[in-house]
Amino acid sequence: MSHCSPKYKSPRAIKYTESWMALLILATLLTSCLNFARETENGIVFLSSRGSDPIAQSIAWSPIDENKVLIRAYETPLQPAELYLLDVPTKEKEYVVGPIERAQFIETKWMPDGKSALLLTVDTIGFEPSGWWAINIDDKSTEYVLGPVDTVAWSPDGKFIVALDRSPGNNSTSIELKLIDATTKAEQIVTKYTDMDYSSGISWSPDGQFVVFALGEYQGSNSLSVFDMKTRKVSTISENNKAEQPSWSPKGNIIAFENKNRLHLINSGGQCEIEIPNLENAWSPTWSPDGKKLGFISEDGIYYVELEKILGRDIYKGLCE
């Protein structure tokens, strides 16, 4: 039988090792401090990696909790799908749904009260028939609420739903903007768009008077339009770009949207539009409840940007300099 014993280390070797370890720890701390300073300087804050198998696809900040963001991970039947809450301070992950094999989660939104999430599913085990489900965050109970229209948004008072829907017979070049009674599900077609095959996001203003939505061509340009609940009129505020995923600020007069993997801000009347600097390959913009930060996903992770820091001004007093 052979025996192994620790090798003898001289006091000088031990002292050298301790000094080397101290330098390594110091270098690590300095690197962390530099990274923190850089984040603080440019206003971009790292939250989490996107993960792998499944990988995060969209982010939605809780409308009532500054510390909670909802993450939808993956969207094909070839990978497990997940829906989870990410805690902003601790970076801890709490499952709402998942992981579910061979599931398709297409889009995720919050209900206005912040107590339930909306999830668009297709051919998903445990969620049939396909369509929009409301999932209670606390007890994880589910309720089927609407058929598989492209995208929806609940009004702040919970009384109405706006939806973009391919009409009828899944016609790929015709999309309807619908107003739906949340209780009776009675539908009213507000307007119909022909020669369009792509809808990408819809969002209510916090006062419930306006709805912004993105429509266009999958291989062409998109436009941002605003529907006025009082006048029942639709006006275009930005066109001839690749506008996607519009998100109305909780403070009311500014809309964030994605344009060719860059994040833009535009005022509700369309008179002023800017690009948020220093961001590349960013999508899925979502506002913090106080309207001061904008969460997003990039190729290498999940982030939020502190708007006043990165732009150097209060955007609600003057979006454009």
Three-class secondary structure assignment of the chain: CCCCCCCCCCHHHHHHHHHHHHHHHHHHHHHHHHHHHHHHHHCEEEEECCCCCCCEEEEEECCCCCCEEEEEECCCCCCCEEEEEEECCCCCEEEEEEEECCCEEEEEEECCCCCEEEEEEECECCECCCEEEEEECCCCCEEEEECCCCEEEECCCCCEEEEEEECCCCCCCEEEEEEEECCCCCEEEEEEEECCCEEEEEEECCCCCEEEEEEECCCCCEEEEEEECCCCCEEEEEEEECEEEEEECCCCCEEEEEECCEEEEEECCCCCEEECCCCCCEEEEEECCCCCEEEEEECCEEEEEEHHHHHCCCCCCCCCC
Q: Does 219 have pLDDT greater than 70?
A: yes
Q: Which residue has the higher pLDDT, 29 or 265?
A: 265
The pLDDT of residue 92 is 94
Q: Does 24 have pLDDT greater than 50?
A: no
Q: Which residue has the higher pLDDT, 241 or 145?
A: 145
The pLDDT of residue 46 is 94
Nearest to 290, CA basis, from 271, 308, 265: 308
The pLDDT of residue 241 is 75
Tokens read off for 278: 């220093």
How long is the chain? 321
The pLDDT of residue 33 is 40
- When mean pLDDT is compared across 15-24, 64-73, 270-279, 283-292, the lowest value belongs to 15-24
Question: What confidence tens digit (pLDDT) does each residue in 106-151 have?
Answer: 899 999 999 999 999 876 555 555 889 999 999 999 999 998 888 9
The pLDDT of residue 167 is 60
Largest Cα–Cα separation, the chain: 92
Class for the domain spanning 46-311: mainly beta
Q: Does 173 have pLDDT greater than 80?
A: no
Q: Which residues pair with 195 in a beta bridge?
A: none
Q: State CA 22 to chain mean position distance.
A: 41
Q: What is the pTM of this model?
A: 0.83
The pLDDT of residue 126 is 56
Residue 4's pLDDT band (cuts 50, 70, 90): very low
Question: What confidence tens digit (pLDDT) does each residue in 41-59 have?
Answer: 578 999 999 988 899 999 9
Residue 77's pLDDT band (cuts 50, 70, 90): confident
Ranked by mean pLDDT, the top range of 22-31, 50-59, 294-303 is: 294-303
With the CA atoms of 211, 217, 219 and 222 taken in that order, what torsion angle do they form, in degrees rounded to the nearest 10? -40
Q: Does 31 have pLDDT greater than 80?
A: no
The pLDDT of residue 227 is 95
Residue 222's pLDDT band (cuts 50, 70, 90): confident
The pLDDT of residue 8 is 40
Q: Which residue has the higher pLDDT, 168 or 154?
A: 154
Share of the chain above pLDDT 90, in %: 57
Query: What are the residue boundaries of the structural domains of the chain, listed by start?
Result: 11-42, 46-311
Ranked by mean pLDDT, the top range of 12-21, 24-33, 138-147 is: 138-147
Q: Which residue has the higher pLDDT, 143 or 198?
A: 143
Average per-residue pLDDT in the chain?
83
